[in-house]
């Protein structure tokens, strides 16, 4: 993709957690202009990006599944960076339909616009498309791992990845795909594990661990995901998939203990609650291809330091999450297993 000053990116889902952090990263690291296309579902918030809006960043309210809206936006853009998705596993277990509509049909709609107008596309996906790994295994996911999703969310993302691959092969669109591990950082919805437990502690509630707390996720800072996506967009090989991870495997129990330690609470002050149905055991990424081919390196190497900074961010930004917290906890209570 061109690195010229007048490059315009269309960033779908740019008012969500990772999309908004990506737009912030692009503002600092490039001279590109950005159009954010976001439906502002329960997960998207205009106040997450309102400070960015101005000469370089424009906001368009709308659905990636709306072909009449999407087509001219893609036509005027040099590249599309596709983050928009329904992203939360617990919600998919209760109501999978929006996951198929946005993640599958929405991605299809975007692909047709990309095909018609010849824009470059980067599709942002997840390591969950590969299913899970055993606890007592040293294996990690890499670019040769076959899709084997366990959950409705993961299946919808795997379907979107396969659509992108088919459009590259059949229609010669210029697309790349990344499959990233779990992100943490500012502006993440309090429905997700780390912000939910941080805000529980800040509200005087006990963290809630599903099952035994043994499940392992491969955590990386959202800024490192942003730099990886930009590296792939600018220097990745068309048609290729890159796995993104930063060697951050930790059990959920260890993450909660760390949150409790960093907030001055006893490290066993959490509750074990009913497990998530079909709960994937372990994710782990081998990002050798991204490192070797594109020279990408994560900047945030120390998880405890990064987590401490995120705790400080939630402490300082209660106005951003307070209303969502009540809604999210009502949702969890209403859907209790």
Catalytically active residues are: 127-128, 153
Query: Which of positions 189-228 make contact with ligand NAD (CB under 6 A)?
Result: 189
Using CB under 6 A, pick the residue from 33, 38, 63, 127 that binds ligand DAU: 127
Does residue 263 come out as left (phi exceeding 0), alpha (psi in the -120 to 50 range) or beta?
alpha
SS3 at position 46? helix
If phi > 0 it is left, if psi is from -120 to 50 it is alpha, else beta; for residue 283 that is beta
Q: Which of ligand NAD, ligand DAU, none has residue 81 at its interface (CB below 5 to 8 Å by kind)?
A: none
- Determine contact, residues 248/303, Cβ cutoff 8 Å: yes
- E strand or H helix at 252: helix 252-262
Instruction: Please report how close the Cβ of residue 5 comes to ligand NAD at its closest, in angstroms.
Output: 27
Distance between CA atoms of 48 and 25, rounded to whole angstroms?
14
Phi/psi of residue 240, nearest 5 degrees: -95, 155
Q: Look up residue 76 and give its DSSP letter.
A: T
Token couple for 214: 């043994």
Closest separation in Å from C-beta 8 to ligand DAU:
27
Three-state DSSP state, 38: strand
Rank residues 245 and 267 by Cβ distance to ligand NAD and give the closer one: 245
Taking CB under 6 A as the rule, does residue 192 contact ligand DAU? yes
- Identify what 84 binds: ligand DAU, ligand NAD, none; CB under 5 to 8 Å per kind: ligand NAD
- Is residue 109 involved in binding ligand NAD (CB under 6 A)? no
Q: Using CB under 6 A, list all residues that contact ligand NAD.
A: 12-13, 15-19, 38-41, 43-44, 63-65, 83-87, 102, 106, 124, 126, 157, 180, 182-183, 189
Residue numbers of the site for ligand DAU (CB under 6 A)?
Answer: 87-89, 126-128, 181-182, 192-193, 196, 208-210, 215, 217, 252, 276, 283
């Amino acid at each position: 993709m061109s690195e010229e000053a007048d490059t315009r990116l269309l960033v779908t889902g740019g008012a969500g957690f990772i999309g908004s952090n990506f737009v912030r990263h692009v503002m600092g690291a490039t001279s590109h202009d950005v159009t954010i296309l976001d439906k502002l579902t329960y997960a998207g918030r205009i106040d997450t990006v309102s400070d960015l809006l101005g000469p370089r960043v424009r906001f368009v309210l709308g659905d990636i599944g709306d072909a009449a809206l999407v087509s001219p936006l893609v036509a005027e853009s040099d590249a599309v960076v596709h983050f928009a998705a329904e992203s939360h596993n617990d919600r998919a277990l209760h109501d999978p339909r929006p996951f198929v509509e946005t993640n599958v049909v929405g991605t299809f709609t975007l692909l047709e616009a990309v095909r018609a107008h010849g824009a470059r596309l980067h599709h942002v996906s997840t390591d969950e498309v590969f299913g899970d790994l055993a606890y007592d295994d040293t294996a990690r996911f890499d670019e040769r791992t076959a899709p084997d999703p366990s959950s409705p969310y993961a299946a919808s993302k795997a379907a979107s990845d396969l659509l992108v691959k088919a459009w590259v092969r059949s229609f010669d669109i210029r697309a790349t795909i990344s499959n990233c591990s779990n992100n943490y950082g500012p502006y993440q919805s309090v429905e997700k594990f780390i912000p939910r437990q941080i805000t529980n502690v800040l509200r005087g509630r006990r963290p809630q661990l599903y099952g035994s707390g043994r499940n392992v996720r491969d955590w990386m800072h959202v800024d490192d995901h942003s730099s990886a996506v930009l590296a792939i967009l600018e220097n990745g090989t068309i048609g290729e998939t890159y796995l993104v991870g930063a060697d951050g495997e930790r059990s959920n129990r260890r993450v909660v203990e760390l949150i409790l330690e960093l907030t001055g609470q006893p490290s066993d002050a959490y509750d074990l609650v009913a497990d998530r149905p079909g709960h994937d055991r372990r994710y782990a990424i081998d990002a050798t291809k991204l490192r070797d081919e594109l020279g990408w390196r994560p900047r945030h190497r120390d998880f405890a330091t990064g987590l401490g900074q995120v705790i400080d961010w939630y402490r300082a930004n209660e106005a951003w999450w307070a209303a969502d917290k009540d809604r999210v906890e009502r949702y969890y209570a209403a859907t209790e297993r």
